Amino acid sequence: MPYLPGRFINLALQLRVKNWQSYIPIVPTLARYRRDDLSHDIVAGIVLGVITVPQAIAYAFLAGLPAEAGLYASLVPMVIYAVFGSSKHLVVGPVAITALMVAAAVGEYAPRYDQSYLGVTTVLCLQAGIFLWLLRLSQMGGLVNLLSHPVITGFVNAAALLIIISQLPALTGIGPGDALDPYHQLLNLARRVDELNPAVVAVGIGCLLGLWLVRRYSVALLRLLRADVEDDHPVRRTGPMVVAALAAVVVAVWNLDAELGVAVVGQIPSGLPELTRPPFHWQLWTDVAPVSAMIAVVSYVESYSIGTTLATRERTRVNSHQELIALGAANIGAAFSGAYPVAGSFSRSSVNYQTGARTQVSALVCMVVIVLTLLFFTPLFARLPHAALAAIVMASVVGIVDLMSMRRHWRIHKEDSLTEFATLATVLAFGVETGLITGVALSIAFFIRTSSRPHIAIVGRIPHTEHFRSARRYDVETFPHVAAIRIDENVYFGNANQVESKLLKIIQRRPGTRHVLLVMSAVNLVDVSGLEMLYRLNDNLAAMGIKLHLSEVKGPVMEHFEATDFTMRLTGSVFFTTDQAMRDLAERT
Amino acid sequence: MPYLPGRFINLALQLRVKNWQSYIPIVPTLARYRRDDLSHDIVAGIVLGVITVPQAIAYAFLAGLPAEAGLYASLVPMVIYAVFGSSKHLVVGPVAITALMVAAAVGEYAPRYDQSYLGVTTVLCLQAGIFLWLLRLSQMGGLVNLLSHPVITGFVNAAALLIIISQLPALTGIGPGDALDPYHQLLNLARRVDELNPAVVAVGIGCLLGLWLVRRYSVALLRLLRADVEDDHPVRRTGPMVVAALAAVVVAVWNLDAELGVAVVGQIPSGLPELTRPPFHWQLWTDVAPVSAMIAVVSYVESYSIGTTLATRERTRVNSHQELIALGAANIGAAFSGAYPVAGSFSRSSVNYQTGARTQVSALVCMVVIVLTLLFFTPLFARLPHAALAAIVMASVVGIVDLMSMRRHWRIHKEDSLTEFATLATVLAFGVETGLITGVALSIAFFIRTSSRPHIAIVGRIPHTEHFRSARRYDVETFPHVAAIRIDENVYFGNANQVESKLLKIIQRRPGTRHVLLVMSAVNLVDVSGLEMLYRLNDNLAAMGIKLHLSEVKGPVMEHFEATDFTMRLTGSVFFTTDQAMRDLAERT
């Protein structure tokens, strides 16, 4: 089979020919760097750092990891992406959805394999990174397309609900129990409602209120101070920083942790991450591989779509191949620096763009802020209450819930609505992996089902033109001895039998037919099953004394035909245009 | 969701409107029956019966069941199909491939559930029948299309090899061992080669030789006697009857069973089948359900393709809906008459057709032959040697092996060849179910992969015509400020990103572009992911000062657009033809 090796050779040639700089996009960026850019990048980087620190701690908490894991995830991976990524504004680090997937995996596998959380998370990162690189090497990055728009929408909605439910224990002070599914988590809360800690609830609700106030009124407040502020000014995103600081101060001043049992983050070890080595435990590797693959796909889809959105605003593009390399490298970097799987963050990338970052240098500035935090400021977070982190996480995901999309899509494509609903329901009921697989399987099934019921139209000439349209929709000229039939679908295994059956039905209803002309303008693919059907159709029509002709066969389809003796066996002719075919056939009898 | 219920109501209406006679095709047949037909049907029915008896016993043996199960499977199910089936010539009963699948299921589940073989086979029949009826009720019969031509070819080849290997123990007298996979079966034979029984081998090889002689020389022999015999005369199919009779006589005369240990069929209980009740054992039902579903699909595909082949020779058609009902009923009949899953038999249906059967009445005549056999002639088969049955089974499947098809398909569609090979290999290595699922999954994966790399062509006018063709293949007129681009694929989740990326790349390479015209003549479907992409493309082009236009949008796609505000948001226009669009856009700047 020279097929796959051939593709790898092609790829190798392509890699060699390409400029090495295109693999390290920061090099051309720095080469063209202007002094003017620096002040913008420094401002953006500092704002980014201030916003990243509380988010990173909150998402580590969501993933069930200690706070430093979140900070480490914002350090090495972010820098690696800045060096290799093709987007100037994308900020890579801890995000809510992968944190949720990590939480499920750590909860399940860390006790089973007697590993610390690091054992599991570093394997997840390393596998996700390798998986992304494999997608690039095998040129199968297109596989992520299988996560169709409805699957992603359904999944994101379900994940947001799961995340909100997972934060309720921290927001109420009720013990989380050990249930993994949302129903039992809610049941656990209801059953143990007497454990509710009023102080924790007060802190949590205060934080939620604070986040809402900053989001709602910070811009208005700024406008009172100075005039020209955009509606989407980054100050709206400073809520997490503000409420985290206030909550820590409140806890410290009234000593809420010791006196009223408000859970706090506790001492964060200061200092930079050390080199970690993912454990090579075969059973653990095979067990978490499916989760890693899912994390890789989800983080790639999320990062690529954010990168594309920001790039089109600047009229540039991100390179999907390079993104696989950069995101893979970032995750592998996470594996060796004690972090957990990373992806492009929507909120932080937006802030980076809006504060005027010009290049990836802003991420390097952000790195300095995080390094300083790790070296000197970790003690400040010791009395940060869990309830504040829960509030930050909930506020960050509540904006992405969009349950109306199903209703909107219903009008366009009912199958897509059903897929979205099924993905949502199965993610909630059976977890992220099962849900995504169900969604993808449904997308494919509905697509095959739709294309297995092809639209087949008898066409005729629109008088005095060279245009041929459906005889049902337009008033067209036809001949009784010629059936001109347009097949509006690829002819492949999914519909070859239906196409054959529909064609035979049409011909049986028109007893005078001597010539059948298949108009192939909408047929982009004929596979072996389709070709077998055409052979059979040709023979069966010949037995009835009817000739089979083709027109407007596309180049790639004609090449398939010419690799066989099909055009030789054809009882009729292959015409370039339907117009020529109809002129010719009109005169035959 | 008014969607699914709506379909069931439609179906109900459709069922009520249709003539009840169309559900029992034998009624109109008998109403129009002519005296002249009867003699043909009687001759064909008797020949059919004579050929069926040894085949039925041989396939029961292949399925690992006693001989009477095969005869029962040729009785009630055949009659039920004759009453309800829409093919006049299809003969339903035991066939080799379902026998192989039954053998695997009985071998695995009968010991585990402490059931006699009947416990398992009747559940298999009943479930397969119910599954076929469900396919009809849910109008999902199109699902069987997923068994693409390459999957079926690969599967049939692998099944033929498995069947031949499974018969080697009986042909050599070596104990079969308890291995289920072919490698260990062959290994077992090699290891126990000293158990080889020369008498058994002699009988087996004699039978194979006899079958070959009948097939090769019977027509020539007939021609010596009387002149006009067709090449494909049914006498060629009498081999099983001839060698079975001769082998039984040889065994009886020389007392080979008692003296040389040649295994024989033994006493077959005489009399008609009694009413059996499939056991309702929940665990057994859920365990065998996947096998039953596979048996249902395989038997439907096989029966439908034979029925269609014979019907087109008569210029009639079989009704796929009615076939699901009839085949389901035949299998349910098998469940209650102590038989095992049935399907349309290629060899017996061909004989039925070639001996001149005119209607389903020939099957009723065949029934009489089998009833007489069961009542009076079963003692004749007691000394039929297993080696003869093995020879009959092997000869019947050796003709269907076609290993060259992969090479032929390689030239047409490489993906189809790979699918065929993978199906063959996984059926051999992991069994029928895993193999078929692998094949179907690969078919879908390759199809999605192909359509995720859509062909997108810049088109231009062929001078002095209204035809627009690819600018790469033809010498055409274009305008620098208009990019007319034809998308040669459905725009759906599988390729929306690639289409967008290719379009943007084309536009970036043509800096003077002010208008982009998408020629939609080959786009038969735009799903939600595709529509989201078009919205995004429209906005992104607008940001670059480029207008987006569409032409030749098909009716169904236009309906989707009109369910949204897409055409309103579109910066350009929707043109009826590309000709009009280009005339209009040529004058704009």
Domain with CATH 3.30.750.24 in chain A: 456-587
pLDDT tens sequence across A546-581:
999 999 998 888 888 888 889 899 999 999 889 999
Kindly tell me if the per-residue pLDDT of A205 is higher than 90.
yes
- CB contact under 8 Å between A528 and B556, yes or no, is no
Distance from CA of B313 to the nearest CA of A (A): 8
Please provide the CATH number assigned to the domain covering B456-587: 3.30.750.24
Taking residues A184-211, report their average pLDDT. 89
Taking residues A182-198, report their average pLDDT. 86
For the ranges A40-49, A212-221, A308-317, B536-545, the lowest mean pLDDT is seen at A308-317
Q: Which residue do the tokens 């402490």 mark?
A: B114
Kindly tell me if the per-residue pLDDT of B389 is higher than 80.
yes
pLDDT tens sequence across B317-361:
778 889 999 999 999 999 999 999 999 988 888 888 888 888 999
> Which of B144, B145, B423 to mutate to test binding with chain A, by most A CBs within 10 Å of its CB?
B145
Q: Which amino acid is at B184?
A: H
Kindly tell me if the per-residue pLDDT of B588 is higher than 90.
no
Q: How confident is the model at residue A234 (pLDDT cuts 50, 70, 90)?
A: confident
Task: For B542-576, give the DSSP string.
Answer: HHTT-EEEEES--HHHHHHHHTTTHHHH-SS-EES
Q: How confident is the model at residue A452 (pLDDT cuts 50, 70, 90)?
A: confident
What pLDDT does B1 receive? 36
What pLDDT does B216 receive? 86
User: What b/e sequence results for B213-248 when a residue is b if at least 16 CB atoms lie within 10 Å of its CB, and e otherwise?
Assistant: ebbeebbeebeeeeeebeeeebbbbbbbbbbbeebb
- CB contact under 8 Å between A490 and B452, yes or no, is no
Give the residue from chain B lying closest to A414, CA to CA.
B3
**DSSP label of B128:** H
Q: How confident is the model at residue A1 (pLDDT cuts 50, 70, 90)?
A: very low
Is B441 in contact with B176 (CB distance < 8 Å)?
no
Distance from CA of A357 to the nearest CA of B (A): 21
- In 3D, which of B504, B529, B528, B508 has the Cα closest to residue B518? B504
Kindly tell me if the per-residue pLDDT of B3 is higher than 50.
no
- CB contact under 8 Å between B150 and A528, yes or no, is yes
Average pLDDT, chain A: 85
- CB contact under 8 Å between B145 and A498, yes or no, is yes
pLDDT tens sequence across B480-527:
999 999 998 889 888 888 898 889 888 888 888 999 999 998 898 898
Is B57 in contact with B372 (CB distance < 8 Å)?
no
Angle formed by the axes of helices A35-62 and A149-172, to 10°?
70
* A489, A507, A550, A557, B488 from A523: Cα distances, Å: 6, 20, 11, 8, 8
Percent of the residues in chain A that have a pLDDT greater than 70, as a whole number: 94
Give the residue from chain B lying closest to A566, CA to CA.
B412
Cβ neighbours of B565 in A, within 8 Å: none
Average pLDDT, chain B: 85
- CB contact under 8 Å between B145 and A411, yes or no, is no
Task: For B503-543, give the DSSP string.
Answer: HHHHHHH-TT--EEEEE-TT---B-HHHHHHHHHHHHHHHH
pLDDT tens sequence across B128-169:
999 999 988 877 777 777 788 888 888 888 888 888 888 888
Distance from CA of A146 to the nearest CA of B (A): 6
pLDDT tens sequence across A456-468:
989 999 888 888 8
What pLDDT does A346 receive? 82
More confident residue, B337 or B312: B337
Kindly tell me if the per-residue pLDDT of B236 is higher than 80.
no
Distance from CA of B242 to the nearest CA of A (A): 35
Task: For A517-562, give the DSSP string.
Answer: EEE-TT---B-HHHHHHHHHHHHHHHHTT-EEEEES--HHHHHHHH
> Which of A139, A145, A470 to mutate to test binding with chain B, by most B CBs within 10 Å of its CB?
A145
Q: Which residue do the tokens 């031949």 mark?
A: B164
A2: Cβ–Cβ under 8 A, 6 or more apart, which residues? none
Kindly tell me if the per-residue pLDDT of B402 is higher than 80.
no
> Which of B447, B451, B513, B539 to mutate to test binding with chain A, by most A CBs within 10 Å of its CB?
B447
CA–CA distance, B574 with B572 (Å, rounded to integer):
7
Burial class from Cβ neighbours inside 10 Å (0-12, 13-18, 19+) for residue A535 reads middle
Cβ neighbours of B523 in A, within 8 Å: 522
Distance from CA of A186 to the nearest CA of B (A): 28
- CB contact under 8 Å between B412 and A564, yes or no, is yes
User: What b/e sequence results for B448-473 when a residue is b if at least 16 CB atoms lie within 10 Å of its CB, and e otherwise?
Assistant: bbbbbebbbbbbbbbeeebbbbbeee
Kindly tell me if the per-residue pLDDT of A93 is higher than 50.
yes
- CB contact under 8 Å between B465 and A466, yes or no, is yes
- CB contact under 8 Å between A528 and B413, yes or no, is yes
Cβ neighbours of B577 in A, within 8 Å: 467
Strand pairing class (A468-470; A456-461): antiparallel
What pLDDT does A90 receive? 92
Strands, sheet with A482-487, edge to edge from the N-terminal-most edge strand: A468-470, A456-461, A482-487, A515-519, A547-551, A574-575
**Whole-model pTM above 0.90?**
no
> Which of A3, A144, A148, A575 to mutate to test binding with chain B, by most B CBs within 10 Å of its CB?
A148
What pLDDT does B2 receive? 41
| Token pair in block for residue B22 | 């169309």
Q: How confident is the model at residue A14 (pLDDT cuts 50, 70, 90)?
A: low
CA–CA distance, A303 with A128 (Å, rounded to integer):
14
pLDDT tens sequence across A510-539:
888 999 999 998 898 898 888 888 998 898
Angle formed by the axes of helices A149-172 and A386-398, to 10°?
160
- Strands of B411-540, DSSP E: 456-461, 468-470, 482-487, 515-519
| Token pair in block for residue B264 | 């024989």
Taking residues A460-483, report their average pLDDT. 88
Give the residue from chain B lying closest to A536, CA to CA.
B309
- In 3D, which of B456, B447, B426 has the Cα closest to residue B521? B456
> Which of A135, A412, A464 to mutate to test binding with chain B, by most B CBs within 10 Å of its CB?
A412
Cβ neighbours of B451 in A, within 8 Å: 490, 524-525
For the ranges A176-180, A360-364, A391-395, the lowest mean pLDDT is seen at A176-180
What pLDDT does A445 receive? 82
Taking residues B402-412, report their average pLDDT. 71
Note the ipTM here: 0.73
Task: For A467-509, give the DSSP string.
Answer: -EEETTTS--B-BTTEEEEEE-S-BSTTTHHHHHHHHHHHHHH
SS3 state at A515: strand
- In 3D, which of B556, B495, B493, B472 has the Cα closest to residue B520? B556
| Token pair in block for residue B361 | 């009445």
- In 3D, which of A242, A246, A265, A266 has the Cα closest to residue A254? A246
What pLDDT does A18 receive? 56
What pLDDT does A3 receive? 47
Phi/psi region, residue B564 (left: phi>0; alpha: psi -120 to 50; beta: rest), is beta
Element (H, E) at A457: strand A456-461
Q: Which amino acid is at B53?
A: V
User: Cα dihedral sign for B469, B473, B474, B479?
Assistant: positive
Facing residue for A443 by CB, picked from B146, B414, B493 = B493
- In 3D, which of B539, B548, B499 has the Cα closest to residue B523? B499
What pLDDT does A176 receive? 76
Most confident among A75-79, A182-186, B48-52 (mean pLDDT): A75-79
- In 3D, which of B406, B408, B403, B582 has the Cα closest to residue B486? B582
Cβ neighbours of B302 in A, within 8 Å: none
pLDDT tens sequence across B86-125:
888 999 999 988 898 898 888 888 888 777 777 889 999 9
Q: Which amino acid is at A378?
A: T
- CB contact under 8 Å between A149 and B444, yes or no, is no
- CB contact under 8 Å between A564 and B449, yes or no, is no
Cβ neighbours of B490 in A, within 8 Å: 451, 490
Distance from CA of B412 to the nearest CA of A (A): 5
Reported as half-sphere exposure (CB side, CA atoms, 13 A), residue A581 has a value of 31
